[in-house]
Amino acid sequence: MSFRAFKFYLHPTAAQVVNLDRIRFTCCELYNAALQEKRDAFKRQRLNLGCAFQQAELTDVKEVRPDVGAVHSQVLQNVLKRLHRAFDAFFRRVKAGQKAGYPRFRSSRRYDSFTFPQVSRKTTLQAGGVTIENGRLKVHGIPGAIKVKWHRPLEGIPKTATFKREGDRWYVIFSCEGVLPEVLPLTGRECGIDLGLTTFAMLDDGTAIENPRCLRKDEGKIVRAQRLVSKRKRGSRRRNKARTLLAGHHHHVANARRDHAHKTARMLVNEFERIAVENLNVEKLSRGMLSKSVHDAGWGTFIAILTSKAANAGRELIVVDPAGTSQECSGCGTVVRKELSERVHRCDVCGLVCDRDVNAARNIRSRAFAGPDGAFGEDRPQGHPMTREAVCFS
């Protein structure tokens, strides 16, 4: 049993949207005020205010600010937890020598979600800021019940509910505990996957998965919407309408990309018992001249979705080092140097001729499942290109 998130589309009334925005604005103001207090305390007195200390101050804040008191107390506490998680991540990056990124003040236009840490059902619990009753949500501080588009059943026990705004739409995301995995029957098949830009993915058997290029297809609409935003006066209602239109186009692109990733991952998990993929450094790859195409492909999102589905289905997913997979011959192991523009692999030693991506996919599969019965091949010396340094999920 494990946790799983379920996201549903909300159909709030106009009055309910106003109250959802009111809670969001209050949470944003609290986040910025707590950040300012934490920064000032450290600059002036070298004090590091803890999360519990700032949460204890909420009682005094509610007495002065009735609008803050109207928001559920656990939602306000969760805002402060977010802030301190941001500082914990900041100090972790500093210690690791990475780009730190000090926590910043949040604009109300960019603060898009708030969380109720407790959810109740009439059949289970009778307490919590959010209650599921008769197919609708009763939320503390919001009049009436919010209509929900239940496009799939809610599994397990809902523990938290996060309300998120995306453009002009509102969603609720339930984190559920006790969701049983749906273990699929064994197929005895395994595959290696080479991710690319010409084709989204190439399997070692030659199967090509088309790259949807979601951003490229809607790029004209996004460009026109962005120009419209630039022409509008800042702070005007017309600019807000233009921003909503632009956000809608980006939302459509993100949904299309995520839908393709889900369908592709589902197909792979259903057909193959063991799957090998590259451990790509997407952040580094996205800094070059192909950055837009790399981001449009969404490799990181796809691998995350594939990992989740494989774990839920009882499949084995192995991530291998991609270095040299395109240059090494999958037939004899000879290194055959090729430029990026060369799309066909030709080996003069063993005579193998195949697509460049198919050759890479075969090498990825070999690195993942080399050795007897798919063993790691412990007899190979450390540093050998076929030694697996893999992460397994099952």
Q: Is 373 a catalytic residue?
A: no
**Torsion sign (Cα): 317, 321, 326, 327:** negative
With a CB cutoff of 8 Å and minimum separation 6, the contacts of 354 are 330, 344, 345
Q: What is the CA radius of gyration of the chain?
A: 25
Q: Are 317 and 273 in contact (CB under 8 A)?
A: no
**Annotated catalytic residue: which of 190, 273, 278, 316?**
278
Q: Can you spell out the DSSP letters for 123-183?
A: TT-S-SSEEEETTEEEETTSSSEEEEE--S---SEEEEEEEEEETTEEEEEEEEEEEPP-P
Q: Is 218 a catalytic residue?
A: no
By C-alpha distance, which of 215, 210, 305 is closest to 256? 215
Residue 280 C-alpha from the chain's centroid = 16
76/27 Cα distance (integer angstroms): 7
By C-alpha distance, which of 207, 210, 213 is closest to 199? 210
Task: For residue 277, give the 3-state DSSP assignment.
Answer: strand
119/153 Cα distance (integer angstroms): 16
Q: Is 296 a catalytic residue?
A: no
**Annotated catalytic residue: which of 190, 194, 273, 328?**
194
* Token reading at 370: 């080399």
Helices (H), the chain: 14-45, 51-56, 58-64, 66-69, 73-96, 214-217, 219-231, 237-271, 282-285, 291-297, 299-313, 356-369
Specify the DSSP element, H or E, that contains 191: strand 190-195
What are the C-alpha distances in Å from 40 to residues 33, 43, 57, 172?
11, 5, 16, 35
**Annotated catalytic residue: which of 273, 316, 328, 357?**
357
Give bridge partners of residue 8 from the DSSP assignment. Answer: 172
What is residue 206's DSSP assignment? S
326/210 Cα distance (integer angstroms): 19
Q: Which residues are catalytic?
A: 194, 278, 357
